[in-house]
Structures are given as structure tokens and as C-alpha cells.
Amino acid sequence: MLTVGNRVRPATPIALVMLAFAVCLAGCSASSSGQRSQSSQSSAEAAEHDEEAAQKREEAAEIAKDKEILSEIESKKREEGAEEKAKKREREALAKAKKREADAAAQNKKREEAAATNLRKREAEIRKLDAEINQREQAAKSKSVAKRREEAAKAKREAERRRRSGTRSSPTVISR
């Protein structure tokens, strides 16, 4: 197992093969001459160097993968943010439309109430004028009836006076 940062990763097969090769070389070189031991040391160093390079490549691959995952997460966050903004705008537009509708309904109600009030006023004026006309007609009828009664009474007196005086004259025409 290899430790990379806070993570423990299994060793790659290449690294294990190189490590085994280094161990073999180290074991074989212990029995050989001094020149071989120098060669073994440089092989061990090369193997260690290769192992470090492999480890760096793994770290670079892991970093690239982490960057890709981070990019996906940021993309999702931006998308969710955009969706939230769209929902918020939609809610605001809906609230604004409801407010406009309520305002329009209130204005219509005020107009209807004003129209009803005006209608009641006009009807009251018409009833008042009708009452005045009826009073005038009644007054005119009363005057006409009184005038006819007066003329009838006058004609009756005239007739009575003629009868007393004994002369008959032509009857008086009562105008209507």
C-alpha cells in the first residue's frame, strides 16, 4: 500500500514488479563482486526513481480526476443556481400578476360601486321629478275641479236668479 496525501492507495503492478526486481537484484548483488554491488545500487536507485515517477503520474492522474469531479460539481451548482433564480423570477412574476389582478378587481369594484351610487342618485332624482309632476297635475286638476265647481255654482245661481226673475234666457255653456 502506498500513501498519497491522506489517501492510501494499493501499489500498482508496475511498482510491485520494479520493487521485486530491485529486491532480486539486491539479493543477487550481495553475493557478487563490488562492481556488481555498484550496479545494483544504481539499479535500486533507478527502480526507486521509476517508482517515484509512477507515483507522481498516479498523483497527477488523481489530481486530474479530482479536477474533473470538481468541475462537474461546480457545473451542477451553477445549474442549480440558475434553476433557483428562474424559480424565484417565476414566483415573483406570479406574485406581481396576482397583485395586478387584485388591483384591477379592486378598481372594477370601485367603478361598479360608483356606477351603482350614480344610478341610485339618478333614480332618486327621477322619483323626485315624478313626484313634482304628479303634484303639479294634482294641483292643476284641483284648480280645474274648483273652477268647474265655481262655474257650476255660478250657473246655478244664475239659473236661480232667472227663475226668480221669471225670464228664461238661453242656457249658459260651461266650458271644460
- Tens of pLDDT, residue by residue over 76-133, are 999 999 999 999 999 999 999 999 999 999 999 999 999 999 999 999 999 999 999 9
Residue 65 reports pLDDT greater than 90? yes
Would the pLDDT of 169 be above 60?
Answer: no
Enclosing domain of residue 16:
2-113
Within a domain: residue 58? Answer: yes
- 122 within a domain of the structure (yes/no): no
**Of the candidates 162, 139, 142, which has an alpha carbon nearest to the alpha carbon of residue 150?**
142
Rounded to whole angstroms, the Cα distance separating 11 from 18 reads 11
By the 8 A CB rule, do 4 and 58 touch?
yes
The better pLDDT of the pair 3, 75 is held by 75
Instruction: Answer whether residue 39 is part of any domain.
Output: yes
Residue 143 lies in a domain: no
**Residues in contact with 84: Cβ distance below 8 Å, sequence separation at least 6, in sequence order:** none
pLDDT at 171 over 50: yes
Q: pTM of the full predicted structure?
A: 0.39
Structurally, how many domains does the chain consist of? 1
Binning pLDDT at 50, 70 and 90, where does residue 37 land?
low
Query: Would you say residue 129 lies in a domain?
Result: no
**Domain assignment present for 91:** yes
Is 105 among the domain residues? Answer: yes
pLDDT value of position 33: 45
- pLDDT of 14 higher than 90: no
What is the rounded average pLDDT for all residues in the chain? Answer: 82
Give the integer Cα–Cα distance in Å for 127 and 121.
10
Q: Is 7 helix (H, G, I), strand (E, B) or coil?
A: strand
Query: Looking at the domain assignment, is residue 171 inside a domain?
Result: no
